Amino acid sequence: MAAHDGDTASYDRIRDVWGPRTPHARGTAWPERVDVHLESGLSEGDVERWVPSACVLCSNGCGCDIAVKDGRMVGVRGRADDAVNRGRLGPKGLYGSTPWASSTDRLTRPLVREGGRLVETDWDTALGRVVATSRRLLEEQGPLSHGFYTSGQLFLEEYYLQAVIGKAGLGTPHMDGNTRLCTATAAAALKESFGADGQPACHDDVEHCDALFLYGHNTAETQTVLWARILDRTRGADAPRLVCVDPRRTAVAEEARRTGGVHLAPRVGTNVALVNALTRELLEHGWVDGDYVGAHTVGYDDLAATVAAYPPEEAERICGVPADDVRRAARIFGESEAVLSTVLQGFYQSHQATAASVAVNNLHLLRGMIGRPGAGILQMNGQPTAQNNRECGADGDLTGFRNWDNPAHVRELAEQWNVDPMTIPHWAPPTHAMQIFAHAETGSIGLLWISATNPAVSMPESARIRRILGGDQCFVVVQDLFRTETAELADVVLPAAGWGEKTGTFTNADRTVHLSEQAVEPPGEARSDLQILLAYADAMGFTDRDGAPLVRWRTPEEVFDAWRESTCGRPVDYTGLSYDLLRRRSGVRWPVNDRHPEGSDRLYADAVFPTDTDVCETFGHDLVTGGTVTELEHRARAPGGRAFLKAAPYLPPHEEPSEDFPLRYTTGRTVHQFHTRTKTGRARRLDEAAPDAWVELSAADAEARDVHDGDWVRVDSPRGAIEVRARIGPVLEGAVFAPFHYGRWDPTDLAADAGHRQANELTMTVWDPVSKQPTFKTAACQVTRVRGRDRGGS
C-alpha cells in the first residue's frame, strides 16, 4: 500500500496525522504502507537518486530514503522493509526532513564576535580562536576549565569522537547533552533495575501484547508512527486494552477509553504515589509470578513494605485519581498475558522521575513480563540519537556502558585508547548539565562548547541561561545549522552540516541501528560535526601515552570500527555490526555479536541481567536522596544476574501551588513541531499548522478567570512570565500546559508574542536526585487575562 502526498488536500498528513489505518490481529505482521512526500510539482520519476537513511525528527528512527534532484534534497519516502516503520513516516518526517537544508538563512561560514557583533570569518581564524582559548585555559586552569554540551541529534561516530577528545584528550568530567533534559531518566531507571542501560523490549511487541500501558507518553503527538502502529492493533481483531497515565485528555486517553481500558489523570508531580498503588494492588491480589521473582530479583520485601502505605484510596487522596480506576488499571496489568509499557516525559520531567520510572520496571518484574513477545518495557527516548550519546559517553556515562566506579572498567577503556587511566576523569562523579551551566555561570568552566542544541530556549529558567551564555566569564563555542537563540550569544559560531549532508549511524529508542548515507553536499563552508572535531583534535595535538596521535581516524567508518571494538563484551555489544551489514539490512538491533549475529529483538529473555558487581554500569542509588551505593554494599546484596526491585515513598513536589500561584505548570510538545523548531519551523506546512505558542487551561480554570478561547493571557511563576494565547482544552483542572518549542526566533518575523512566549521562562532549576534530569513539569503558576483574542486570530 502506497500513500503518496504532494500538496493535495485528498491526503493531508497535517490534518490526518497518523495516515490511513491498516488494522490487523494480534500476532500478525504489521502491514506495509509506504508514505512519500516530494516538493510541489515533482513525481517519483523526477527523482535522480534515493539515498538510504532514517528520520531524525523523533526517537522512532523510521527507515527512509532521501530524494535527490539537482544536488538538493527534495523529499523523503518510507522504507517498507524497515522493522521500525514498515514504510510509514509522520508529519514531521514527511514535511520537515528536507526544507531546512535549502533555507536561505543557513550558516555557511564561521562567525566570530568582534565589538559585540558576530561577523563572518574563515575557518582558520574561527578555529584558531577556539584552540588558542583552549590551550590558554588548559595551561592556566587545567582540564576542568572545559565543558561540552551536546545533543541527541549527532551521529554515533561524532559522539564517540567527542567522548575520546573530552575524556582522553582533555581529561574533563564536564560533558553532557540535552539528552539530560529529555531522557536521562530512561537510562537511570534501566540501570537501577537491570544494571545497565538498554531497552528490554522492541516496537515489534506492539503486535503481540494484549495490554499496553503508556506512562506520561503522549505517543499520538511525540511518536506518530508508533501511535499509528498502536492504532492498527486497537482497530484490529483481538485488540489490546490501553491504560493511559496523563493529566491531559489526549488522543491516547480517548483511545484507552474506547478499548475498555482506563485513563488515569494524576495531579502533576504525583506519579510515584500512583504507581506505588498499582504495585500494591498486584501484591494484594496475588498477581505476581512468585517463581520468577524468587529466582530473578532481589529486594521484594523492601518493595512490599514501601508500597503497603498506598492503597487505592490513598492514591486518590494524593493524585486525584478515583480509587476504582486504580483498581481497574491494576487488574488489567495483573490479568493480562502480555503487557507492553512505555514511559516518557510525563514521568521523566516530573517530580521523583527515576523513582516513578523504576516503579514501572517493578511491575514488569513482579509479573515476569520481560524478554518475551508482547511483554516488556520501553523506557522511551525523545530524540533520534539520544541512545548513542549515552552509549558513547559524550554525556555523563562512561563509554560502552562501563561503570565510573569500577577501576577495571576504567583501565579497560584506558588500554583501548592507550592513555593513562588517571587521564580519564573517574575520580569524581561526572558533571551533569545543570552543574555544567552553574560552573559556566561562575567562570570555573571557561570554555563551553555547544553542539546541535539550543539551550537558550530548551533549558529551564531561560533568563538565567541567557545571562550565562551572554556573559564575559565563559568563552562559548556553538556549532549548528543556523543562528539560533544560543548561537546569537556565542563567541565563535561554526557552521555544521546536517542530516543528509554527512554519513553516520544512529540508534533509535528500541536499539535499532541505521546507517544514514550522505545525499548532498553541505552549503558553503559548512562541515560535518566529525570534521570539526577532527580539526580541533589535530590542532590541539592530543597524543596517547606513546606520543602517537590520540585521534587517528579520518572517516566515519573508521570511527565506527573503533567504537565497535570498545563495546566488546559489554551489554551494548556492536562487534558484529558493520557499515556493510547496515547497507544490506534496513536497521539492526543490538547486541550484534557471535552469539547474536543477526541482532537481538529483546533483552533478558534468559532472565539474566547485567547486575553482577563486576559487570554492572552502576552500583545504584537511593531513589529518594540520590546517595550512591558503594561497591561493598553492592557486593553484599549479591545480585548475581538478578534484577533489583526498588521503591520509594511519595514526597510532595519542590514547589506546591500557593495563594499567589495556585495552578501547576507543565510543559510538553505538540505534534507539528520538534524541539526549538530549528528544522520544523522552517517547514512551511508544519509551521503553518503550529505557528505560535499557547497555554492550555481546563474549562473550570478558564471560567474562574474569565478567559475565553483565543484570549491573550499572562502566565506568571516565581521566576518569570509569558504572554500568549489561551486554549480551553482537555487538561486536568488545576493544571496549565505549555509547549516548549517557541523561542524568540520566528520564520516570518511577524509573531506577536516572539519576545514573551518562551515556556521555560517559568520552569525551575531543580533536578531529580538520581538521573539529574530537570523538573520541567511541577512549577507553580498563575494565569491572568490580558485582553481578548485578536481579530481574525486563532
Give the span between the Cα atoms of 262 and 239, in whole angstroms. 15
Q: What is the pLDDT of residues 60-103, one digit of tens each?
A: 999 999 999 999 999 999 999 999 999 999 999 999 999 999 99
| C-alpha distance from residue 391 to each of 152, 407, 511, 697 (Å) | 12, 19, 11, 39
| Structure confidence by residue, pLDDT tens digits, 539-597 | 999 999 999 999 999 999 999 999 999 999 999 999 999 999 999 999 999 999 999 99
Helix (H, G, I), strand (E, B) or coil at 311: coil
Strands (E), 365-471: 376-379, 447-451
Identify each DSSP E strand in 631-710 by its residue range. Answer: 643-644, 663-668, 694-697
Closest alpha carbon to 67 in 96, 98, 88: 98
CB count within 10 Å of CB 40 equals: 8
Tell me the pLDDT band of 751, cut-offs 50, 70 and 90: confident
| Closest among 97, 69, 75, 89 to 2, alpha carbons compared | 89
**DSSP per residue, 469-504:** HHSSSSEEEEEESS--TTGGG-SEEEEB--TTSS-E
Q: Residues 6 or more apart from 737 whose CB is under 8 A from it?
A: 248, 666, 667, 668, 695, 696, 729, 731
pLDDT bin (cut points 50, 70, 90) of residue 789 is confident
pLDDT of residue 749: 74
CA atoms within 13 A of residue 395's CA, in its CB half-sphere: 29
Q: What is the mean pLDDT of residues 419-424?
A: 97
Decide: 761 and 462 in contact? Cβ < 8 Å: yes
pLDDT tens string 301-319: 999 999 999 999 999 999 9
Q: State how far the alpha carbon of 621 is from the alpha carbons of 192, 360, 600, 639, 662, in Å.
A: 7, 17, 29, 15, 34
* Closest C-alpha to 260, from 233, 231, 239: 239
pLDDT confidence of 721, banded at 50, 70, 90? very high
| pTM listed for this prediction | 0.97
For residue 3, is pLDDT > 90?
no
> Residue 304 in 3-state DSSP?
helix
pLDDT tens sequence across 113-151: 999 999 999 999 999 999 999 999 999 999 999 999 999
Predicted pLDDT at 771: 97
Which residues touch 626 (CB under 8 Å, ≥6 apart)?
Answer: 768, 769, 770
| pLDDT at position 784 over 70 | yes
Averaged pLDDT, 695-714: 97
794, pLDDT greater than 60: no
pLDDT for 9 beyond 60: no
- Cell for 146? 572545559
Residue whose C-alpha cell reads 545571562 in the numeric block: 467
* 10: pLDDT strictly greater than 50: no
User: What is the spatial distance between Cα 329 and Cα 376, in angstroms, rounded to a whole number?
Assistant: 17
Per-residue confidence (pLDDT) for residue 167, from 0 to 100: 97
Q: What is the model's pLDDT at position 32?
A: 97
pLDDT band at 11; cut points 50, 70, 90: low
The model's pLDDT over 293-303, given as tens digits with 9 standing for 90+, comes to: 999 999 999 99
**What cell was used for 262?**
482506563
Across the chain, mean pLDDT equals: 96
DSSP, res 46: G
Does residue 728 carry a pLDDT above 60?
yes
Q: pLDDT tens digits for 602-638?
A: 999 999 999 999 999 999 999 999 999 999 999 999 9
Average pLDDT over residues 396-421: 97
String of DSSP letters for 764-781: -S-B-TTT--B--S-EEE
pLDDT at 1: 56
Task: Report pLDDT for 793.
Answer: 45
Spatial separation of the C-alpha atoms in residues 459 and 774, rounded to whole Å: 8
CA torsion 690-695-700-703 (nearest 10°) is -90
CB atoms near residue 388 (< 10 Å): 28
Across residues 33-46, what is the average pLDDT? 96
Strands (E), 636-761: 643-644, 663-668, 694-697, 712-717, 720-728, 735-739
